[in-house]
């Protein structure tokens, strides 16, 4: 099967009304929503680095789109269109069928249309570029934190890291492992926080490293982080404290949102306040026994 036949067979799917021309021409032709800004991200997933070599193709398809939608969520954007570039060692029909099923399962849930891309031969590499839109002035940025604001999260930091551990140990039906294989992009949260939160991003590199991104983008601010306030699921709660803290602070692949919120105002229901922004001094970790210590930002290294 050549590239064109393969794309027709596995990657033609229903599209939104804002798609004038989808796959099949030199490029896609799209009608952007009038008066909105565009939000664009491009993230590549490499087998063995961003997902396990033995992950089922349907999970790979779901997951590669999810990490891009998570970036749109972190900006408060509404998903519109995505393009997919698939580099494959060979054109395996079963793999392609499953991959595209997982991909479109999430695309349909999120209301995003596949409008183009390419398929080529080489070591497995999956690049997805996703575009969303947001009203001017409402995008969630990393540089909007201010001293005194409350620090809050959605989801449970550490869940992705525990999920990867479970996956490697063969416990692939645990809640954490399912979260690792199919993270849910926090699109509803992004929409709810847009225009309201101070700063926001998605927790993909580990809580401390991502908090560091907010603090440096907002001008060398600091933060207090209360470990006992970090939300957990049963599987995280069952761990020894030191082990749990390491996952909560430095595990990646969580894909909840970390955001700041006006001081003295309750955070939206379902999110959790976990500390506050200070005007410098790095990140102070508050332990349940009253101990306070400096944290070194760190987490998943991409390169």
User: Would you count residue 284 as binding its own copies (CB under 8 A)?
Assistant: no
Q: Is 9 helix (H, G, I), strand (E, B) or coil?
A: helix
User: Would you count residue 233 as binding its own copies (CB under 8 A)?
Assistant: no
Whether 220 has a binding-site annotation, put simply, is: no
Q: Which helix (H) or strand (E) holds 61?
A: helix 57-74
Of 91, 113, 107, 106, the residue nearest 21 (C-alpha): 113
Q: Which helix (H) or strand (E) holds 85?
A: strand 78-88
Shortest distance (Å) from residue 77 CB to its own copies: 7
Which x/- pattern, by CB under 8 A, does the window 81-100 give for its own copies?
Answer: x-xxx-xx--x---------
User: Would you count residue 53 as binding its own copies (CB under 8 A)?
Assistant: no
Pick from 8, 12, 49, 168: which binds its own copies (CB under 8 A)?
49
For β-strands 125-134 and 37-46, DSSP reports them as: antiparallel
DSSP-derived secondary structure letter, 174: S
Shortest distance (Å) from residue 155 CB to its own copies: 15
Whether 300 has a binding-site annotation, put simply, is: yes
For 182, residues 6+ apart whose C-beta sits below 8 A from its C-beta are 59, 62, 63, 66, 102, 106
User: Would you count residue 17 as binding its own copies (CB under 8 A)?
Assistant: no
- Three-state secondary structure along 105-164? HHHHHHCCEEEEEEEEECCCEEEEEEEEEECCCCCCCCCCCCCCCEEEECCCCCHHHHHH
User: Would you count residue 195 as binding its own copies (CB under 8 A)?
Assistant: no
Q: How far apart are CA 109 and CA 215, in angstroms?
A: 33
Site residues for its own copies, window 123-162 (CB under 8 A)?
Answer: 123, 125, 127, 129, 131-132, 134, 136, 139-143
Whether 210 has a binding-site annotation, put simply, is: no
User: Would you count residue 27 as binding its own copies (CB under 8 A)?
Assistant: yes
Candidate ranges 58-66, 95-103, 122-130, 230-238; the one touching its own copies (CB under 8 A): 122-130
DSSP-derived secondary structure letter, 218: T
Q: Is 221 helix (H, G, I), strand (E, B) or coil?
A: coil
User: Would you count residue 77 as binding its own copies (CB under 8 A)?
Assistant: yes
Size of the site for its own copies (CB under 8 A): 66
User: Would you count residue 29 as binding its own copies (CB under 8 A)?
Assistant: yes
Pick from 44, 109, 233, 284: which binds its own copies (CB under 8 A)?
44
Q: Which is nearer to its own copies, 84 or 221 (CB)?
A: 84
Residues 77, 190 contacting (CB under 8 angstroms): yes
Whether 254 has a binding-site annotation, put simply, is: no
For 168, residues 6+ apart whose C-beta sits below 8 A from its C-beta are 52
Residues of the binding site for substrate: 50, 253, 300
- Residues in touch with its own copies (CB under 8 A): 1-3, 6, 20-21, 24-32, 34, 37-44, 46, 49-50, 71-72, 74-75, 77, 81, 83-85, 87-88, 91, 115-123, 125, 127, 129, 131-132, 134, 136, 139-143, 201-202, 217, 301-303
């Amino acid at each position: 099967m050549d590239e064109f036949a393969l794309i027709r067979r596995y990657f033609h799917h229903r599209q939104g009304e804002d798609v004038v021309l989808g796959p099949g021409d030199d490029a896609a032709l799209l009608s952007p929503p009038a008066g909105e800004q565009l939000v664009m991200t491009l993230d590549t997933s490499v087998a063995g680095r961003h997902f396990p070599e033995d992950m089922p193709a349907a999970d790979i398809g779901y997951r590669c789109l999810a990490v891009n939608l998570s970036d749109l969520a972190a900006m408060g954007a509404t998903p519109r269109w995505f393009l997919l570039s698939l580099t494959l060692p060979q054109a395996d029909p079963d793999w392609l069928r499953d991959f595209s099923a997982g991909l479109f399962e999430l695309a349909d849930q999120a209301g995003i249309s596949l409008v183009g891309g390419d398929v080529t031969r080489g070591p497995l590499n999956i690049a997805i570029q996703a575009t969303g839109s947001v009203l001017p002035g409402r995008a969630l940025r990393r540089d909007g934190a201010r001293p005194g604001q409350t620090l809050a999260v959605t989801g449970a930091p550490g869940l992705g890291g525990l999920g990867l551990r479970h996956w490697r140990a063969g416990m692939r039906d645990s809640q954490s492992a399912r979260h690792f294989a199919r993270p849910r992009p926090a699109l509803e949260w992004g929409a709810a926080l847009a225009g309201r939160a101070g700063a926001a991003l998605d927790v993909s590199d580990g809580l401390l490293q991502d908090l560091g991104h907010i603090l440096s983008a907002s001008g060398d601010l600091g933060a207090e982080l209360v470990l006992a306030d970090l939300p957990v699921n049963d599987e995280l709660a069952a761990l020894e404290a030191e082990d749990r803290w390491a996952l909560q602070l430095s595990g990646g692949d969580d894909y909840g949102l970390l955001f700041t919120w006006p001081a003295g105002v309750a955070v939206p229901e379902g999110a959790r306040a976990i500390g506050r922004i200070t005007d410098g001094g790095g990140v102070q970790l508050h332990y349940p026994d009253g101990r306070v210590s400096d944290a070194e930002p760190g987490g998943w290294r991409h390169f």
